[in-house]
């Protein structure tokens, strides 16, 4: 652990060793991100300046951050923020940490060019706020069943100055029939039996992760209730997991989005199922 007046190079080396011993997957990267954020410099500057000395307050803060990371707490929770596309979001244990693959839903919005969007299960507000940020004038209604998530998302909207474009509602869906140009959702889709890395399984909210025995039960439930409540859109995009493409395409088709497509992420994993009304 770095002590008072520790050099940055020695502090990094000690942290990397500790992370390796704890089984952290990316020890050097995590150590550099944590220390550079605490110092307030970019990683390149931190690495280049081998004679950098840490202020005692930074040294203490880094020592505490290292202890938290050894417990496998995610870096984003330690720092309290996560970048997503062009925006930075506050995140804590009330919400999932936004993933790069979720940006594919924002890409779908950009392709569609909607004036109105419904996002179901907003979490930190990442999708809704990125859509509002990148499509000026687009009106987004974002829902979540977690009051903690709604608090986080609303605070992010205020911080980003997007509260005029994005409204948040506690609950899974709007109460009344409504038509949107696009529906987006990153619903729980991890099968209940799956084992997850400690950073995910021990720290992120289980209710936002697990989607039933095969991972598609929450998706099926939401699609059914959209129809029941008369909530519709010509295009819908859903984030999915490995091996779920065919099943989710069948669900979409059974609810009237019969023109379906599955898109893969950069790792070749099925990641987004899209349905369009014929």
Q: What is the CATH number of domain 85-276?
A: 3.40.50.150
* 198 token code pair: 């400690």
Q: Which residues contact 63 (CB under 8 A, 6 or more apart)?
A: 1, 2, 3
Task: Say if residues 226 and 242 touch (Cβ distance below 8 Å).
Answer: no
- 8 Å CB contact between 204 and 177: no
What's the CA gap between 61 and 38, in Å, rounded? 7
- pLDDT, tens digit only, all 278 positions of the chain: 444 456 889 999 999 999 999 999 999 999 999 999 999 998 998 888 877 889 999 999 999 999 999 999 999 999 999 999 999 999 999 999 999 999 999 999 999 999 999 999 999 999 999 999 999 999 999 999 999 999 999 999 999 999 999 999 999 999 999 999 999 999 999 999 999 999 999 999 999 999 999 999 999 999 999 999 999 999 999 999 999 999 999 999 999 999 999 999 999 999 999 999 98
Nearest in space to 236 (alpha carbons), one of 181, 184, 173, 187: 184
CA 43 vs. chain centroid, Å, equals 23
What residue ranges do the domains of the chain occupy?
Answer: 8-71, 85-276
């Amino acid at each position: 652990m770095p002590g008072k007046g520790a050099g940055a190079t020695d502090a990094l080396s000690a942290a990397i060793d500790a992370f390796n011993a704890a089984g952290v997957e990316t020890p050097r990267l995590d150590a550099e991100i944590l220390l550079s954020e605490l110092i307030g410099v970019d990683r390149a500057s931190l690495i280049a300046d081998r004679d950098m000395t840490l202020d005692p307050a930074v040294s203490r803060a880094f020592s505490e951050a290292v202890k938290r990371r050894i417990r496998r707490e995610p870096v984003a929770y330690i720092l309290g923020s996560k970048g997503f596309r062009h925006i930075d979001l506050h995140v804590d244990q009330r919400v999932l940490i936004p993933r790069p693959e979720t940006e594919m839903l924002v890409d779908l919005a950009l392709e569609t060019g909607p004036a109105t969007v419904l996002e179901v299960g907003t979490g930190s507000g990442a999708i809704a706020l990125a859509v509002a940020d990148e499509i000026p004038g687009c009106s987004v209604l974002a829902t979540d069943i977690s009051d903690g998530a709604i608090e986080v998302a609303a605070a992010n909207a205020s911080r980003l100055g997007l509260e005029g474009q994005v409204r948040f509602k506690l609950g899974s869906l709007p109460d009344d029939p409504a038509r949107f140009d696009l529906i987006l959702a990153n619903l729980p889709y991890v099968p209940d039996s799956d084992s997850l890395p400690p950073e995910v399984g021990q720290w992120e909210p289980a209710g936002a992760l697990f989607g039933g025995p095969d991972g598609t039960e929450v998706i099926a439930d939401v699609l059914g209730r959209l129809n029941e409540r008369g909530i519709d859109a010509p295009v819908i995009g859903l984030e999915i997991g490995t091996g779920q493409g065919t099943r989710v395409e069948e669900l979409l088709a059974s609810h009237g989005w019969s023109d379906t497509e599955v898109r893969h992420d950069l790792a070749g994993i099925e990641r987004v199922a899209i349905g369009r009304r014929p």
